[in-house]
A and B are shown apart, each in its own frame.
Chain A
Amino acid sequence: MTLETWLVFSAALFCVGLCGALIRRNAIIVLLSIELMLNAANLNFIIFWRYGVNADAASGVMMVIFSIGIAAAEAAVGLALVIAVYRHFKTVNLDRIDSMKG
């Protein structure tokens, strides 16, 4: 298993997440895709930790621990926002939420 393979895989996962963020109408699915992207980045960290220069250092792992925590917080807040938006617009269809237009 080479580094490049892992990295390509992680890149693929990231791109899937990106694709989802760009394609779907539903705001929640977009948040979901963003979670995917974050997880792909976390995977990247672990890959480099595993195949890195200094395998003894715990920095990769620590980073990922923190990242997971933050991702969770961000997911919570983001979904709270979506709920607030849903209350206002009565929809989570991103095509309809364009009052920031112009």
Chain B
Amino acid sequence: MDAPFLIAAVLTLLSAIAAISLRNVVHCALCLTLTFLGLATLYLQLGAQFVGLTQIVVNVGAVAIVIVFAILLTRSSDNPGESRFNKGAIWAGLICAAVFATLVVAINTSYVSMKSGAPAPPLTVEKIGHELMGRYVLPLEAIALLLTAALIGAVIIAMKESNEKGGGQ
């Protein structure tokens, strides 16, 4: 248990907890950003440098922003007195605890045991590029298609509907 991991882990976890439990929704989004950053550090610690930086660029730079925009666009007129947790929150908490317990039990009882602290394997960006264009070219094209579709879909869904006859109250 070395210090960098510990600090990063704690930071990430705390900000994650904060993200889900703060009252102000914008604060939650900002804490999410913090969580992503923490995760990026952890990636770097694990030696996946490209992934870590991609994490920052995509998640922090795009996803979190989109979330903030969505929050701004859906400023709800909830009465402030209302709780931010729903009715079955206790049960949900218990369930999550159960899930966590299950996972820990699974981890601990699994036969996968690794050596600790192996040196970081060398994985250059060039190698990643080679992989993408070589072995993983098909997923690449697929994800391109997916992204296009998602883009168009999101635009259409979120677009303001004009001349809707009869529907949409």
Residues of A within 8 A of B (CB): 1-9, 11-20, 22-29, 31-33, 35-36, 39, 42-43, 46-47, 49-51, 55-56, 58, 60-62, 64-66, 68-77, 79-84, 86-88, 90-95
Contacts and interface: CB of A to CB of B under 8 A. Distances in A.
B51 A69 contact: no
A7 B107 CA distance: 7
Interface string B27-49: 01100100110010011001110
B50 to A, nearest CB: 7
A36 B14 CA distance: 13
B161 to A, nearest CB: 8
**Which 8 residue pairs are nearest across A and B when measured between Cβ atoms?**
A20-B20, A22-B92, A73-B150, A80-B154, A55-B121, A80-B158, A3-B114, A79-B70
A74 B114 contact: no
5 contacts: A25-B86, A32-B29, A50-B46, A69-B147, A72-B58
Contact of B73 (A5, A24, A74, A86): A86
Interface of B: 1-2, 5, 9, 12-13, 16-17, 19-21, 25, 28-29, 32, 35-36, 39, 42-43, 46-48, 50-51, 54-55, 58-59, 62-63, 66-67, 69-71, 73-74, 76-78, 82-89, 92-93, 95-97, 99-100, 103-104, 107-108, 112-118, 120-121, 123, 127-128, 131-132, 136, 139, 143, 146-147, 150-151, 153-155, 157-158, 160-161, 168-169
B135 to A, nearest CB: 8
A13 B39 CA distance: 10
B150 A74 contact: yes
A71 B64 CA distance: 12
Given A91-B76, A92-B76, A36 B16 contact: yes
Given A35-B63, A73-B151, 7 more contacts: A18-B95, A22-B92, A25-B85, A32-B28, A51-B118, A61-B123, A68-B51
Contacts of A62: 128, 131-132, 136, 139
Binding site secondary structure of chain B: helix
Contacts of A24: 20, 84-86
A33 B84 contact: no
B138 to A, nearest CB: 11
Contacts of A9: 9, 13
A77 B150 contact: yes
